[in-house]
Structure 1
Amino acid sequence: MTRQPASRPGPGARSRRPVAPWVRTRLRTSPGTAAAFGVLVLLTAFLAAAFPRAVDAYENRGLRHAITGAPAARSAVEVSTPGPGLSGSEEAREASLRSAAVTGHWATVLEALGGPLRALPGESAHGVRTSVPLPATDDWLPRPESVPPQMTLAAQSGLAEHSTVTEGRLPRAGGEVTSRTREIEAVVTTGTAKTLGIATGSVVHVGAADGPALAVRVTGIVEPRSPEGGYWSYDEVLRAPGLGATTGSPPSVYWKAALLIAPDAAPALLGTLGAPQPYWRVAPATGRLTAQDVPELSRRLASLEDGPGLIGLKDLIDENADVSTDLDGVLGDFEAMRSAISPVVAVAAFGIGSVAVVVVVMAGGLFAARRRSELALLRSRGGSLAGIGGRLLAETGVVAVPAAVLGLALAVLAVDDARDGPAVAAAAAVAAVACAALPVRAVIRHRVPLAHGGRDDLALARPSRRRTVAELTLLVLAVGAVAALRRRGTSDAGDHLASAAPVLVALIAALVLVRLYPVPLRWAARPAARLRGAVGYLSLARAGRSSAVGALPLLALLLALATAGFGGSVLAGVDDARARAALLATGADARVSGEGDSAALPPGAERAVRGLPGVRSVTAVQIEHALTLPAAGRQAEAPAVSLVAADPGAYASLARRLGLGEFPEQALRPGGDPGVVRAVASPGVAAWLGGGRHRIDAVAGAFTVEIAAVRERTPAVASKEFLLVDAARLERRAPSALLVTGERLDGTAMRAAAKELGGDLTVRLRAEARAGFTDSPVQAGAERIYTAAIAAGAGYAVLALMLSLLQSAPERTMLLARLRTMGLTMRQGRSLLGLEALPPALLAAAGGALVGWATIALLAPGVDLVRLALAAAPGAATVDDVSLRADAWSLVLPATAVVLLAALVAGVQAWWAGRRGSVRELRAGDMR
């Protein structure tokens, strides 16, 4: 019988695909696995994209906070000229001070700023002022020490928009004002009117008694609408008067105030000795400033102060124009804080980023292990590595790329006011790692066709020479990174090798532990073999051969635990530093004091404070700053010393309770000579005075002192140099401060009591001082990042542990089923799996805690926490021991959680395997 040729489809016939598409088939086969992988990529991409955006956001807010929080005299940019000279005509001199001429140059000044430096319209101003204050000769004005008030006359723009008229009206020029005009109008603020007794209709005569005088009629009183803004606070006498002192000996005190005249009345100032000068004052707008603008902003300020920008202003306004600002100093302070905090944050970023990469790679390894038989079959039937890798890449890319894009979108929505470029790059890196994890692992595993799945455990693993060389290379890099960080610290924000030192230390520890791990377990398995029962021996033997304890799972756990320990120690160190600085600033839980801690307290102050709710104890102290020590013939300058006088018993109890300069009470009690005052001194004072007895001349009286004890600190003063004596031994006793201890002190009630006592008392609470150290957004943002890093590290540690146990779950289930056919009970099966999982968990926990402690010990000399802890309060007391120290809770708690979680997962796995039964696991021909 002849075979008929197969009919071929016609040219118009539609060909059918013999098989379904690979990607769609795989996704339909295991949708749960694809969904879990997508969630992992989404969370990782979200964290990776959110980190640079969070850093940008808190740095931008920190820059704006630094500029807006600085005094207006520092942050504003002022362009000024010396005023019209004597060489020109009188009409030209007057015209240069008129409002039209001064306002005409305003656009020139704004154009000269350029770049990111922009003017804030509501707080910027221009006008004319007297550069030399003029004395007010009227006898009815207050004169504290017979010195007449010194008046600044200012014709500043925008007075109507920045003030509210409470009485009278605003000043007017009243026709054409010239240098010969002898009377003009002005207004004063409510603070000036109240202090100097000026009313509407008053006439203030300014000028020297023997020179030209100018009568200024006050037409109204105004209230500043934003007294703390740059318009009023650049020159503080504009909003309220202040006290000044002459340069004579002894100095005399006088009032300083301002009279606000109309802009067109400025030419009248030429008839005085006030040396009027035009000015253009620019308050910087911070709404669009970012941390990336700081270099350009610094260059622009340098150009305006002494560069091409200043030359341009001289050409357009006046050849003697000058630019003054301290905004570059504000930017320098911000950059110093930023450069100190950024490397510390980079350590956490490298740690959590490395954990995330390892976990994603572990996920790819788990998928590759579960599909080992499938890929081996494809390879044995002629599948090429490129073809298999391409199909796996497409399979993972369909899930990973949309998940990474969604994570990026969530990060953009969650964190605003930041750049998009770094976030996009971070999310793209996560997507690339996620897409390549499974194909790369599969291609490396199946470079040659595999006959069958043989044993894959540590007993048969033999490290290759390449692996040994790679491990040694990593060891050299880790040692070099740690040495570099310890030598030069974290001052270089771009030193990524130093920031990655904890990661390299954890990597080396993981590789070493993987090599050494089986040895002690095999030693322990030998005596266990002689015991009754097989559970103990089997668990130790299997734990010593298990492939689950590989480098990647252990590395992920070590990195997560080390990151958590490092971050927790950083936060603990910052909290301790702020608590100690707050204690040094207040001296107790609360402090009630007079002006400068030197003014005497009103009578009954101690009794009134002691009766407030929550007060446990009140210690009265007398403080005298700038105490002069005897020179004793030395040419060196004596240190600035604070004298502290208190009751020995109460003060010693306070120092002991606070743990600050504790000393025995007898150190202040009288000794053998009743004429000698025993004292506790700081090391500097003790070294200056030396041994023996010394005569001290103080405001509280003269006395002879003898040093009985030396302490580094004392609660009453924050200064390092002090002399503490018994208050009863002083001639003139006048307590100037109360140190209060107690729980839940009511600051409102304490301030109300202080106000009733009078005397201009100041109340400072330790809790409020502690909260003031976190005012900077840079500090708060860095702390939030560290908190998030600890939480993310804990989450990735759980994922790493779960992935490690899931990878070996089928093999464990098969073992349990086989042993149950040999008589193993369900209880023994649970014990076997639990004991088998315990050694790897203990290894990871102990290794993670050890790596965390070692990382902190190695990096502590190079990590500066001062900026992170106290940068928001530059005037805070100096804390000597702001250093990175290991926090026991941050090291022990995560390690304990890993052990408990491993035991819980093993128990759940044993219970689930017992419910499924043994029949479906025991299949003929299964090589597991």
Structure 2
Amino acid sequence: MRRGGVKAVAPWVRTRLRAAPGPALALLVLVLLTSFLAAAFPRAVDAYEGEGLRHEVNAAPADRRVLQFTDEPEDEFAESAESAEGGADDSLQPERMAKAYRQILATLPEPLRVDAGQSAYGVRSVEPVRASDRWLPELEAGLPAFTLSTQAGVAEHSRLLSGRLPRAAGDGATVEGAVTATTAETLRIKVGSTVHAGPIAVRVTGIVQPLRPELGYWSYEPVLRTPALLYTGQPVPVAYWHGALLLDPGSAEALRALEDEPEPYWRIAPDLAGLTIGDLPQLRRTVASVESGPLRTRLRDGISPTLDAGTSLDEVLIGFDDIRAAIGPVVAVAAFGAGSVAVVVLLMAGGLSATRRHQELALLRSRGGSLRGLFGRLLAESVVVALPAAAGGCALALELLPHGRLLPALLASGAVALLACAALPLRAVFTHRTTRLHGGRDDVVRAKPSRRRLVAEVTLLVLAVAAVVTLRRRGTAPGEADELVSAAPVLVGIVAALVLVRLYPLPIRLLALPVARRRGAVGFLSLARAGRSPATTALPLLALLVALTTAAFGGSVLAGVDGARDRAALVSVGADARIAAMDALPKGLAQKVRKVPGVRDVVSLHLEPELDLRDSVTRSVTLVAAEPTAYARLARDTGLGEFAAGRLRQDSGALPALVTPDVAERLGSGEALIGPAGAMLTVRVAGVLTTTPAVPTGDFVLVDAARLPDRAPTALLVSGPDLSAPGLRTAVRSAGGDPTVALRSVERAGFTESPVQSGAERIYTVAAATGAGYAVLALLLSLLQAAPERTALLARLRTMGLTRGQSRRLLILESLPSTVLAAAGGALVGWTAIRLLAPGIDLGRLALAMQDGFATMGPVGLRPDPWSLLLPALAVVVIAAVVSAVQAWVAIRRMTTTELRVGDTR
């Protein structure tokens, strides 16, 4: 817009900001906060997912995360001929092995960084070689077997305890070697001992202590540091020791004397310190290329045509990706909810500013101002405030969350800035698209929705139905969820808000009829004012309903996760604590445990894990012998297989037994002999249980311990939610023996070790709280928008004799219809959304992550949480009442005769 040929945009902006700094400052703070949250969300998700990726890979066993390259040694006669002709050195020589190692390191690209300190290479015997020295300890299967290894770097990864490190072999018959301290102690090897492993004699020159034995150098092949038991084949497996002899790399040629060809190997440990979630796709491609792709071809061309590569790292990455894909849609629900409410608040902020300046903008239009000029002026005002605020919020998020992808954060902040800049000018242009002196009534009772609004509402309804149906049919399994599915709760809340806006006039009219007949004007005036609230009430109602639905859904998610973890911990332990021993428990232990603070009950059990049912089925069955009354009480309290104690009691004849369905089928309906020879029992099936506290997830036979007096207790199940864990362990230690103590609380804490779980829960909680905060802000904005008109109303009514108390009640009662409607509707919609979406959402991955032992628990579903449904709804009503009371107090204190013209819409 021009006046006198001079552009007036810049002076307009400066003048407006100086004239009204308060609204500009409020917009700056709102945009700054919203931009920060929008940019921080994807960065926070990337941060916890990256931490989870590093955790899962580091937590995997060394043999699952290391890349191993192996080769076939060249024939020694052909190699000798090549050497005589000036060809390559021998394939097992240290120089060639080191050169191949350096070439592998140089070939592996980012993000597959190498931890050189835990990587290793050498030559090893493929099969363990039996020793022939009778002074070695023998087990049932005979003398120990040894793996002979020339792994490089033993000196750097160990501390010499006695003797010296081995040197290169002088001849092929006798070589020098070293053993770890554990190997020396277990197999009775000393410095100077000679071990004859097949055709090779190894003279032990030193004993070493591994440094950081839990890391990859020693853990990929654990036998290098710790002897293990090997077993012969069927029909009766028997054990023998398996150890390792550490040779000098220069002795690799001596391994050719073994019956099987030795194996050159290079084990590359990945360095995950700087790994981020953004590196995951490229990391998967790199691992696949190393196993069977271009990188493998390049290594074969440079090192050996028979070089082979293998790793289980790809399986670890796939497992993590499955968890991430399962948790992501659940977290996205909170993001959609909080984002939707934030969008509504930004729109309301623009609407509040447009309403506050309605007369000013109407005057500009009446004096010939064009819509384009009006849009440009208001856009310039908004840009001057919103763009720096959005940039500041984004910069703050990037500073506080340094890890994560940059582009999503920039796009999110950019979207906030665009919406903040466009809200005011678009609302003003829409309102003032035609010039008129006075507008008609635009309230929820008189307003008639347009056809375009009907089309938009039907479209949203179709999307919500499609999202709910898709979610119920496909669920949130990895690879199945998408944005429409994650937006299902939000869409349900939006549709409910639109329905409530259409139904809102009906209860207002119904309530107005009886109130109009009552004495006193406050009730009638409050309902009349509520009915004349502007049609834009849909925005705060939408914000409240979406926020309440998201909060209810979030509470259901967290309640379902907590319930699943509590259940899994109970299934793992069977009670609040379990004390068990391989043989009989120490005498008097049960009495000592009962004296531990917090212990409520103790049940003694006799368990036989490998009960013989004397049939051809090999599936394991556990015998459980317990005192019926105490054990039945425990089963009832835990909810694991409740039964009547009398079903196990019988003075003579076959023992009545409660068994699992599979065992009942194997035993039949009559009497059956079970157990090994010399300890056989005659039992009959007295009932079927699917689970029991002592054996929550396996097959069992439960009998009365009084009928088995020769069976001593082997386990105690302890009840007491507040029992003292240190006191319990002290009581067990004081009783002697070596019983193990398992606590339900410890098991419960173990389900939240994964950063993916804890990070997702934090993100969900923060997002739900953010949505609730924006909903409260939307409620405040809606009340502020009506503040001038309310003040003018009170000024008129005060001149007509309205008392202070009646003024306060009027404003409070005026805000209650829409607020109560939003609160009740939000609780109802939240409950409905949970019931609708529960069949399609499995929270098992979020609750238990990588815990694979609880598949028998079935899907972990949503369940309504009363606190999440009712508390936010009540909070909305209370906040609205408090704000209205404060508005009334301020209006009464500052009321003057000038207020009689404020907000006058005639």
TM-score calculated relative to the size of structure 1: 0.92
Partner of 1:226: 212
* Residue segments in structure 1 that go unaligned for 5+ positions in a row: 1-14
Equivalent AA in structure 1 for residue 632 of structure 2: A
1:136 and 1:149 in contact (8 A); partners too: yes
Match of 1:498 in 2: 485
Contact 1:614-1:743 at 8 Å conserved across structures: yes
Counterpart of 1:417, as a letter, is H
Please, which moves more after superposition, 163-172 or 86-95? 86-95
Q: Is the 8 A contact 1:167 1:221 kept in 2?
A: yes
Secondary structure of 1:153's counterpart equals strand
Alpha-carbon distance, 1:293 to partner: 2.6
**Does the 8 A contact of 1:362 with 1:552 survive in 2?**
yes
Question: Which residue of structure 2 lines up, in the alignment, with residue 106 of structure 1?
Answer: 101
* Aligned twin of 2:269: 283
Alpha-carbon shift at residue 326 of structure 1 (Å): 0.7
Matches within 5 A, 1:191-590: 191-207=182-198, 212=199, 214-273=200-259, 275-491=261-477, 492=479, 495-547=482-534, 550-590=537-577
Work out the CA distance in 2 between the residues paired with 1:698 and 1:563. Answer: 59
Separation (CA, whole Å) in 2 of partners of 1:143 and 1:758: 31
- 1-side partners of 2:595 and 2:159: how far apart? 44
Question: What amino acid is the match of 2:673?
Answer: R
CA contact (8 A) 1:668 1:726 kept: yes
* Equivalent residue in structure 2 for 1:32, among 7, 16, 22: 22
Tell me which residue corresponds to 2:70. 80
CA contact (8 A) 2:795 2:900 kept: yes
Kept after mapping to 2: 8 A contact 1:774/1:872: no
Map of 1:812 onto structure 2: 790
Change (3 A) 1:84 1:878: same
> Structure 1 residue 67 and structure 2 residue 62: aligned?
no
The match for 1:835 is 813
Q: Aligned pair 1:159/2:159, yes or no?
A: no
The counterpart of 1:888, out of the listed 860, 866, 878, is: 866
Relative to structure 1, the CA distance from residue 615 to residue 143 in structure 2 (aligned partners, 3 Å threshold; closer, same or farther) is farther
Matches of 1:475 and 1:543, distance apart in 2: 27
Q: CA deviation at 1:689?
A: 4.2
Pairwise CA distance, 1:857: 1.3
| Cα pair 1:168 1:219 within 8 Å, conserved | yes
Q: CA deviation at 1:695?
A: 2.9
Amino acid at match of 1:409: A
Change (3 A) 1:317 1:758: farther
Q: Single out whichever of 187-196 and 229-238 deviates more from structure 2.
A: 187-196
The question of whether the paired residues in 1 share the 8 Å contact of 2:792 and 2:902 is answered with no
* Contact preservation (8 Å) 2:843, 2:859: no
Cα displacement string for residues 323-369 of structure 1 (whole angstroms, at most 9, x for unaligned residues): 12111110110111011011111111111111110111011111111
C-alpha distance in 1 between matches for 2:516 and 2:708: 82
Letter in 2 for 1:201: G
Secondary structure of the residue aligned to 1:156 is: coil
Report the alpha carbon displacement of residue 896 of structure 1 after superposing the two structures with TM: 0.6
Match of 2:770 among 783, 787, 792: 792
Structure 1 range deviating more: 450-459 or 230-239: 450-459
Give the deviation of 1:581 after TM superposition: 0.3
Query: What SS does the corresponding residue of 1:615 show, helix, strand or coil?
Result: coil
Instruction: Report which stretch shifted further, 823-832 or 679-688.
Output: 679-688
The alignment's C-alpha RMSD in Å is: 2.4
Question: Structure 1 639/206 Cα, relative in aligned 2: closer, same or farther at 3 Å?
Answer: closer
Partner of 2:179: 188
Give the secondary-structure state (helix, strand or coil) at the position aligned to 1:567: helix
Return the letter of the residue paired with 1:623. L
Determine if contact 2:194/2:203 at 8 Å carries over to the other structure.
Answer: yes
C-alpha distance in 2 between matches for 1:853 and 1:748 = 42
The runs of 5 or more residues in structure 2 that have no matched partner are none
User: By how many angstroms is 1:754 displaced?
Assistant: 4.4
Q: 1:926 to 1:846 in 2, by over 3 A?
A: closer
Q: Kindly provide the amino acid, as one letter, of the partner of residue 493 in structure 2.
A: A
SS at match of 1:908: helix
AA of the residue aligned to 1:206: A
1:799 CA displacement: 0.2
Match for 2:121 among 105, 126, 131? 126
Q: 1:780 aligns with which of 758, 765, 769?
A: 758
CA distance in 2: counterparts of 1:810 and 1:421, whole angstroms: 43
* Cα drift, residue 780 of structure 1: 1.0
Cα drift, residue 751 of structure 1? 4.2
Distance across 2 between alignment mates of 1:455 and 1:306: 73
User: Is contact 1:177-1:268 (8 Å) kept?
Assistant: no
Counterpart among 622, 625, 638 of residue 609 in structure 2: 625
Distance 1:659 1:422, change over 3 A: same
Q: Which amino acid aligns with 1:96?
A: S
User: Aligned pairs, how many?
Assistant: 896
Give yes or no for contact 2:68–2:310 (8 Å, CA) kept in 1. Answer: yes
**Alpha-carbon contact 2:132-2:197 (below 8 Å) kept:** yes
**1:165–1:113 CA distance, 2 compared to 1 (3 A):** same
* Paired AA for residue 153 in structure 2: G
Preserved contact between residue 791 and residue 895 of structure 2 (Cα < 8 Å) = no
Q: Structure 1's 186 and 616: CA in aligned 2 closer, same or farther, altered over 3 A?
A: farther
Of 718-727 and 156-165, deviating more is 718-727
Whole-Å separation in 1 of the counterparts to 2:474 and 2:144 = 55
- Deviation, 1:18, is 9.1
- Other-structure match for 1:649: 629
Q: How does 1:661-672 map to 2 (within 5 A)?
A: 661-670=641-650
Q: Which amino acid is the alignment partner of residue 713 of structure 1?
A: T
Match of 1:117 in 2: 112
CA shift at 1:231, angstroms?
A: 0.4
Q: Is the 8 A contact 2:337 2:768 kept in 1?
A: no
Other-structure match for 1:5? none
User: What amino acid is the match of 2:531?
Assistant: G
Q: Which residue of 2 aligns with 1:905?
A: 883
Aligned-pair distance for 1:374? 0.5
Residues 759/320 of structure 1: CA separation in 2 closer, same or farther (3 Å cut): farther
Structure 1 residues 315 and 736 mapped into 2: Cα distance closer, same or farther (>3 Å)? farther
CA contact (8 A) 1:368 1:441 kept: yes
| Offset at residue 310 of structure 1 (A) | 3.0
Whole-angstrom distance in 1 between the partners of 2:531 and 2:417: 35
Residue number among 694, 708, 723 corresponding to 2:701 in the alignment: 723
Moved more, 725-734 or 576-585: 725-734
State the one-letter code of the partner of 2:690: E
Q: Deviations over 1:48-105 (max 9, x none)?
A: 1011001111111111111111000111110012334465356879932221121111
Q: Is the 8 A contact 1:514 1:549 kept in 2?
A: no
Q: 1:407-433 CA deviation, whole Å, 9 max, x = no partner?
A: 111111221221111000000000000
Q: Provide closer, same or farther for how the CA distance between residues 68 and 34 of structure 1 changes in structure 2, counting only shifts above 3 A.
A: same
Cα 1:601–1:138 change in 2 (3 A) is farther
> For 2:101 and 2:749, how far apart are their aligned partners in 1?
42
**Residues 243, 759 of structure 1: alpha-carbon distance in 2 compared, 3 angstrom cutoff:** farther
CA distance in 1, matches of 2:831, 2:447: 30
CA drift of 1:684 comes to 3.6
Q: Which amino acid aligns with 2:188?
A: G
Q: 2:828 aligns with which of 838, 850, 855?
A: 850
Instruction: Give % identity.
Output: 58
Paired residue type of 1:51 = F
Q: Greater shift after overlay, 423-432 or 650-659?
A: 650-659
